Amino acid sequence: MKPVRFDYKRPATIDEACGLLVSDDNARILAGGQSLIPMLSMRLSRPSLLVDIAHIPELTSLVETETHIEIGAMVRQANARASAMVKVHLPLLFKALAFVGHPPTRARGTIGGSIAHADPSAEIALVAATLGAEIVYRVGGADEIFDASSFFIGPMLTLAPPAGCLTKLCFTKAPAICGTGFHEVAPRKSDYALASAAAQINAEVGLGVTGIYLGVGSVGDFPEPLDVDGLIGTSLDDAVIGDVVHAAMEAVETVEDLHASAAYRKRVATELAIRALRDARDEISKDLNQ
Amino acid sequence: MSEPKYKFLSTPRRPVEDRRFVAGRGKYVADLERPDMLHVAPLASHHAAAVINSIDGSKALAMPGVIDVITGDELAGAVQPLMNGLNTPNVRRFPLAVGRVRYAGEWVCAVVAESRAIAEDALENIIVDATPQPFVLDAEQALLDSSTPVHPEHGSNLLLDRKFVWGPVDEDFAAAAHSLSFSVTWGRNSTVPIETFGVIAEWNGWDQMLDIWASIQMPKYADQIARSLGLPGNAIRVHYDVDVGGSYGVKRGIKHSVLVGYVARKLGRAVRLIEDRLENMRAGDAHGPERKFDVAVAFDDDGTVRAMKMRALDNAGAYAGRAPFQLGKPISAIVGPYKINSVAYHALSVTTNKTVQEAVRGFGQAPTNYAIETAMDRVAEYLGMDRLALRQHNLIRADQFPYLIPSGSHYDSGDYHAVIDKVLAAADYPAMLAERDRLRADGMMAGIGIAACLEPSGGNSSFEPLLNESNKTSTWMESCQVNVDALGCVTARIHTTSSGQGHETLVSTILGEVLQINPELIRITRPNSLESLPGNSPVGSRMAIMLGGAAARAGEKLKAKIMAIAAHHLAVDVDQLRYESGDVIAPDGRSLVWDDMIELAHRQYHSLPDGMDPGLASFDIMQVPTGEALPADGKVQMYPCYAFEFHLVLVSFDPIIGRPDIHSYFIGHDCGTVINPAIVSGMTYGGIAHGIGAALFEEFAYDANGQLLTQSFLDYLMPSSHEVPAINIVKHCTPSPHTVFGQKGSGESGYLGSPAAVSGAINDAVAGLGIHFEKLPIRMSAISDAIAAKSS
Amino acid sequence: MNDVTLSINGKAVSAATEPRVTLLDYLRDVAGLKGTHAGCEHGVCGACTVLVDGDPVRSCLMLAVQAEGVDITTIEGIGGLGARAGELGIIQDAFCEAHGLQCGYCTPGMILAAEALLSVNAAPSEHDVREAISGNICRCTGYVQIVEAIMLAAKRLRQRNDTSAPDLTPA
């Protein structure tokens, strides 16, 4: 199980990396390698050139602005999970990161790599799609920004521009009152999930709930944000949540494989979505009732 | 306070092998370097069945670093077919496909190159022209006359079709108050060691010698290779000092070894083939049984199970090998630990277009135990009787041993009721039941699984003559050699590889016990096959009994010589002498210490008794206890010893998610006298983990096109540290009367009952819904789907 | 071919290497360190686990060229070296004590995963231990005695750091 022959380059800047991608149609970016290298070893991926972006300083930064947290594409999953910035301002991502692989893959795997790889069961992609994070690519010397809620279009398929280099992921900071829930189910704890769900409820004192975000992953070809705006202004009791989630899940197409039937995926994603929303609600109920 | 019975045996002692392994200094086959070594990569068939029209390797051969491309036709002209256990001469098997491929993944041809990566590059340049053929995947389908034979020359897919009737089955069924029948299927899984199979062969033309290093656990390995390659037995030198990275039965590798042996001889070079994981999964020919059981049982109102009819249909995959014998070994414990009076057993094995089946831990016993234990649960359900009480009612009692079962084996010893009582006490069974009910009240599905079963141990191969009358094998020996050097140090030789069983610890502990010297001072070596005494390798849960037995007997021979020398020197009758920690003491207090004995034996021939050979060395070649006779009337005494295990497990799951969570796991284990407690516990824990995998996760699943869906570890799911719970072992010891210290086998422990127990727990959890899960593995999706179907 | 220089167990190793060579193959075939084992070569089994700057990493999921500039620790870098060969490190010793292994094939990866855990968590719970080794598959032991071994090692390491406790450091 050895990869095909390829060249290897280690650019120092994003623009140098982009230049390399332009120079070779069959070039691929190597980030953390935790998904790419198995595909290389099985010869499912056969690049002629690997562009290792690990040595581009600006890709490894985690930046807090007034409104956003910007996570460089090369930030390791373990570092993101250990970051106080992520814990405080991106509580949903913080929760989800605990489900990504296991310690050795989180040590190498990157935030950007997971987004670019676009596995339908990827937790980071689910959170990004659910919250509508901005995905920033550098292409042709300019930045191109994608809305994560529509970026994923199929298994391992995205709207990523050819010869583009993913540079960062920008999340809106969670408000002071924010509840989150993340659930996933897999045969074994660290397996690809059979179903997953992420939920976040934003609220403000006096205004009550201002935004509700829900997404399900692993059930279809890509992570799917669900429209649950109908919950805003409701009691958010279990019955209401159940009704809205069931309705929202109706249109979700689920896939079948050896490990789970399509019906299972739909049933369990629905249940997990309900549980995630309940968790989120329960987290803020105290703040709202004050 | 009484003296402990043993000085070293059964005491907590560190296994001696562990030191090198924790330092990463084990010597596995892939770690070995040979000069100018070449690397082999096989080309896998894409088709489940196809006729090979042509193979064009010219483009591959032209690549730098590529040395050779070997095809099945070349090989078939040069080597004999691989050994076949049954009389099916037209089911011929070579290391590479000859003329046609019979399963997806089968090796079509092989590239030999300067590196493995180059060999893989070259595989992409081989052009195979093949015409797909009809194929069959399902065993019941393969039985039909209309099915496509996997081997057209053989005429059908039937490899084995044997019916046994032991005792008055029809009468018992007629007399019993009730009967029921059911079917269960054991899914195709295997032990899947973390080390794949690997082999290095090196031909030396000047010595006319083929040296082989391999990660093997295979009886008669050298003989089989020599026969296939047409070499004299003493032209094959298998090096046993290779650590094997796990096996649990499957490290057989005959096809790999014949292939590289042939290439090494052809090219006069060292050649190695280390399977990669994909090759291992799809074409390592190491899948375990895939077996469908149709079972009927006859029983009375009080729960007495009188008789059983069992049809067992095994899907052997594309070639015969030894796989069909895995239907034979369970005959040794066909009634489990129960007093079932009569049994009808119909053993069927068919070829299909799947990967070849090989020996797996228990050699077919675990699937059969799963069927028997399912029967017990079903009878209890039918009668509305407690599952535990039903078992206790049917278990053989301690005063009934030796107990003759209908198929001809005597169970040696046991106290099943005592073991169960101990487990129930340790687990606080009433509290476990209460916990189950509490979980149910919380909205969870919860169930308790119970399994009682036996581990036949001391492995012989009586199933071979039983299933193949032309096979007259009753010999199934193991050997050990001991030498005390001129400085008084003890070295013992064992003649096999090990794959984690701790044989060095076994032999040094036993020799230490017999000679009463510190086992840590005894060195164990592993000579090559030409320097070895005969043996049959660590299969059939036999080494504690057989290697341990041979070591003890060799030690006793050595001790007898020491005593004879001392008696002569001290002019005392040997019966009056006392042996104590290496010293020999006369009644009058005179003594010879160990060093004196060494001086006499090694340097003072003039002081030895007349006619005694100098030096201090001994050996023993031991036959399996009770393994004296060939089968008669379809019956045979199979293995000598029967270890007992009793599993009690509490499982719960959310009715929607369906993911089983094992809350508590207890196993009562009686394998007689334990040699090394940590080794036995470790194997039991590992066996249970393997059984949890078989029950819930692991399957070599195929799609409708005959493609293996679970070729990688992304899809073939093995339990991790999160899926195996804390496990409580409750120990009991009923010594075997047939072994030197009363030991029985333990290498298959845990695995033999855990799939039945876990399945039983899940079925208990859903019993109220009228659901029966009848196939392993029971996937979480299937659990949830079944519950959803009932509630909608 | 690229010139690839790696820092392995504190020593520099250099060789012309194809970019496609994984760190696993480099360690075994170039550096001659056979204690890092190939199990699946696709990043699931954990047998090839090494430490990269102290973090547990699967060496089959890294190319050798990617490993330039980091410190790599393999099982050969644990325990006594050179003249002290044969002296076990505390975690290794605990694995022997609890018999937290059988065939030894997954053991180096397990021990390095344990090293990584205990370097950041001196008093792990059983759950912490199970999480730390959850990416390392063992087919022999059912993990029970491995968990025991790591808990025992943690206890001994704590005692070592407690100056009132007897010193268990090898002389």
Question: Minimal Cα–Cα distance from B87 to chain A, Å?
Answer: 37
CA distance linking residue B37 with residue B432, whole number of Å: 59
Q: How far from B108 is each of A4, B133, B283, CA to CA, in Å?
A: 21, 15, 11
CA distance linking residue A47 with residue A27, whole number of Å: 6
DSSP B655-724: TTT---EEEEEEEEEE-BS-S-HHHHHHHHHHHHHHHHHHHHT----B-TTS-BS--STTTS----TTTS
Query: Which subunits count as partners of chain A given 3+ CB pairs below 8 Å?
Result: B, C
- The pLDDT mean for chain A works out to 96
As a whole-number percent, the residues of chain A with pLDDT over 70 amount to: 99
CB pair distance less than 8 Å for B248 and C139: yes
CB pair distance less than 8 Å for C102 and B502: yes
- Whether the per-residue pLDDT at B632 is higher than 60: the answer is yes
By C-alpha distance, which of B37, B561, B496 is closest to B271? Answer: B37
Contacts of A2 in chain B (CB under 8 A): 116-117, 120
Both tokens of B664, joined, read 């508590």
Contact B256, B197 (CB under 8 A): yes
B11: number of Cβ within 10 Å: 15
Supply the pLDDT for residue C163: 59
Query: Testing the interface with A: which of B784, B785, B787, B791 to mutate, by most A Cβ within 10 A?
Result: B784
Contact A185, A166 (CB under 8 A): no
By C-alpha distance, which of A18, A32, A63 is closest to A169? Answer: A63
CB pair distance less than 8 Å for A6 and C41: no
- Tally of residues, chain C: 171
CB pair distance less than 8 Å for C63 and A30: yes
CB pair distance less than 8 Å for B24 and C103: no
Q: How many helices (H) and strands (E) does chain C have?
A: 5, 5
What topology does CATH give the domain C2-76? Ubiquitin-like (UB roll) (3.10.20)
Q: β-strands B305-317, B342-351: how paired? A: parallel
Supply the pLDDT for residue C79: 85
Supply the pLDDT for residue B99: 97
Both tokens of B463, joined, read 């199933």
Contact B637, B462 (CB under 8 A): yes
Q: Is B247 helix (H, G, I), strand (E, B) or coil?
A: coil
CATH of A57-172, one of 3.40.50.300, 2.40.430.10, 3.30.465.10, 2.30.290.10: 3.30.465.10
Contact A219, A237 (CB under 8 A): no
- Whether the per-residue pLDDT at B613 is higher than 50: the answer is yes
CA distance linking residue B390 with residue C90, whole number of Å: 50
Q: Model-level pTM?
A: 0.97
Q: Is the ipTM value over 0.90, yes or no?
A: yes
Which chain C residue is nearest to residue A49, measuring alpha carbons?
A: C19
The tens digit of pLDDT for each residue in A99-128 reads 999 889 999 999 999 999 999 999 999 999
C62 touches chain B (CB under 8 A): no
CA distance linking residue A148 with residue A217, whole number of Å: 13
Which amino acid is present at B370? Y
Question: Minimal Cα–Cα distance from C171 to chain A, Å?
Answer: 32
CB pair distance less than 8 Å for A50 and C19: yes
The tens digit of pLDDT for each residue in A253-286 reads 999 999 999 999 999 999 999 999 999 999 998 8
Contact B647, B662 (CB under 8 A): no
B257: number of Cβ within 10 Å: 30
CB pair distance less than 8 Å for A107 and C56: yes
Q: How many helices (H) and strands (E) does chain A have?
A: 11, 14
Tell which C residues from 79 to 138 touch B, by Cβ distance under 8 Å: 79, 86, 88, 92-93, 95-99, 101-108, 111, 126, 129-131, 133-138
Question: Minimal Cα–Cα distance from B686 to chain C, Å?
Answer: 4
Supply the pLDDT for residue C164: 60
pLDDT band at B628 (very low <50, low <70, confident <90, very high): confident
Which chain C residue is nearest to residue B24, measuring alpha carbons?
A: C35
The tens digit of pLDDT for each residue in B713-750 reads 999 999 999 999 999 999 999 999 999 999 999 999 99
Domain boundaries A177-289, CATH class: alpha beta
Which chain A residue is nearest to residue C3, measuring alpha carbons?
A: A8
Cα–chain center distance at A64: 19
Domains along the sequence of chain B with CATH: 18-23+477-622 (3.30.365.10), 32-133+197-274 (3.90.1170.50), 291-462+629-791 (3.30.365.10)
By C-alpha distance, which of B304, B297, B324 is closest to B312? Answer: B324
Angle between helices C90-98 and C107-120 (to 10 degrees): 120
Contacts of C1 in chain B (CB under 8 A): none
Which amino acid is present at A91? P
> Between these two residues, A192 and C101, which has the higher pLDDT value?
C101
Question: Minimal Cα–Cα distance from C102 to chain A, Å?
Answer: 23
DSSP B6-22: -SSTTS----TTHHHHH
CA-only gyration radius of chain B, Å: 27
Angle between helices B254-267 and B221-229 (to 10 degrees): 50
Q: How far from A193 is each of A197, B444, B780, C164, CA to CA, in Å?
A: 10, 21, 12, 48
By C-alpha distance, which of B535, B85, B641 is closest to B328? Answer: B85
As a whole-number percent, the residues of chain B with pLDDT over 70 amount to: 100
CA distance linking residue A187 with residue A194, whole number of Å: 8
- Whether the per-residue pLDDT at A245 is higher than 80: the answer is yes
Q: β-strands B490-493, B478-484: how paired? A: antiparallel
Tell which B residues from 152 to 211 touch C, by Cβ distance under 8 Å: 191-196
Contacts of B653 in chain A (CB under 8 A): none
B6: number of Cβ within 10 Å: 15
Contact A9, A51 (CB under 8 A): yes
A188 touches chain B (CB under 8 A): yes
CB pair distance less than 8 Å for B696 and A187: yes
B121 touches chain C (CB under 8 A): no
Give the up-direction half-sphere exposure of residue B157: CA atoms within 13 A in the CB hemisphere. 30
Largest CA distance in chain C: 55
Question: Minimal Cα–Cα distance from B545 to chain C, Å?
Answer: 19
DSSP category for residue B492: E
Backbone angles phi, psi at A142, to 5 degrees: -125, 160
Residues of A near C (CB-CB distance < 8 A)? 1-8, 10, 30, 33-34, 37-38, 40-42, 50, 52, 54, 78, 101-105, 107-108, 189-190
CA distance linking residue B621 with residue B557, whole number of Å: 12
Contact B190, B700 (CB under 8 A): yes
CA distance linking residue C73 with residue C93, whole number of Å: 18
Four-CA torsion C67, C73, C74, C75, nearest 10 degrees: -170
Which chain B residue is nearest to residue C130, measuring alpha carbons?
A: B721
Which chain B residue is nearest to residue C109, measuring alpha carbons?
A: B24
CB pair distance less than 8 Å for C63 and A37: yes
CB pair distance less than 8 Å for A258 and B710: yes
Q: How far from B463 is each of B415, B629, B634, B644, CA to CA, in Å?
A: 27, 12, 10, 21
Supply the pLDDT for residue B709: 97
CA distance linking residue B204 with residue B292, whole number of Å: 48
- CATH 1.10.10.10 correct for C82-160: no
- CATH 3.30.43.10 correct for A7-52: yes
Query: Testing the interface with C: which of A5, A55, A102 to mutate, by most C Cβ within 10 A?
Result: A102
The tens digit of pLDDT for each residue in B560-574 reads 999 999 999 999 999
- Whether the per-residue pLDDT at B29 is higher than 80: the answer is yes
Which amino acid is present at A7? D
Q: Is A195 helix (H, G, I), strand (E, B) or coil?
A: strand
Using CB atoms, pick whichever of B28, B30, B722 lies closest to residue C134. Answer: B722
Supply the pLDDT for residue C170: 47
CB pair distance less than 8 Å for A8 and C65: yes
Both tokens of C150, joined, read 């790591």
B31 touches chain C (CB under 8 A): yes
Q: Which helix (H) or strand (E) holds B337?
A: none
Tell which B residues from 210 to 269 touch C, by Cβ distance under 8 Å: 243-248
CA distance linking residue B359 with residue A151, whole number of Å: 49
Provide mean pLDDT across the span B258-263: 98
- In chain C, where are the structural domains located? 2-76, 82-160
Supply the pLDDT for residue C83: 76
Contact C113, C136 (CB under 8 A): yes
- Whether the per-residue pLDDT at B27 is higher than 50: the answer is yes
Supply the pLDDT for residue B2: 61
Give the up-direction half-sphere exposure of residue B576: CA atoms within 13 A in the CB hemisphere. 12
Q: How far from A81 is each of A109, B106, B128, B170, CA to CA, in Å?
A: 12, 45, 50, 67
Query: Testing the interface with B: which of C28, C111, C139 to mutate, by most B Cβ within 10 A?
Result: C139
Both tokens of B345, joined, read 């057993």
DSSP category for residue C75: G
Contacts of B193 in chain C (CB under 8 A): 103, 105, 139
CA distance linking residue A45 with residue A41, whole number of Å: 8
- Whether the per-residue pLDDT at B196 is higher than 50: the answer is yes
pLDDT band at B465 (very low <50, low <70, confident <90, very high): very high
- Whether the per-residue pLDDT at B230 is higher than 80: the answer is yes
Cα–chain center distance at B172: 34
Supply the pLDDT for residue A166: 98
Contacts of B278 in chain A (CB under 8 A): 1, 42
CB pair distance less than 8 Å for A194 and B276: no
Both tokens of B7, joined, read 């000085």
A98 touches chain B (CB under 8 A): no
Burial of C57 (0-12, 13-18, 19+ CB in 10 A): buried
> Between B and C, how many residue pairs show a Cβ–Cβ distance under 8 A?
184
A263 touches chain B (CB under 8 A): yes
Query: Which subunits count as partners of chain B given 3+ CB pairs below 8 Å?
Result: A, C
- In chain A, where are the structural domains located? 7-52, 57-172, 177-289
Cα–chain center distance at B588: 52
The ranges of chain C with pLDDT < 70 are 161-171
Provide mean pLDDT across the span B395-417: 98
Tell which C residues from 132 to 171 touch B, by Cβ distance under 8 Å: 133-147
Query: Testing the interface with C: which of A34, A105, A188, A190 to mutate, by most C Cβ within 10 A?
Result: A105
* Helix runs in A70-200, H state only: 77-82, 84-89, 91-97, 103-108, 111-117, 123-131, 148-151
CA distance linking residue A119 with residue C7, whole number of Å: 34
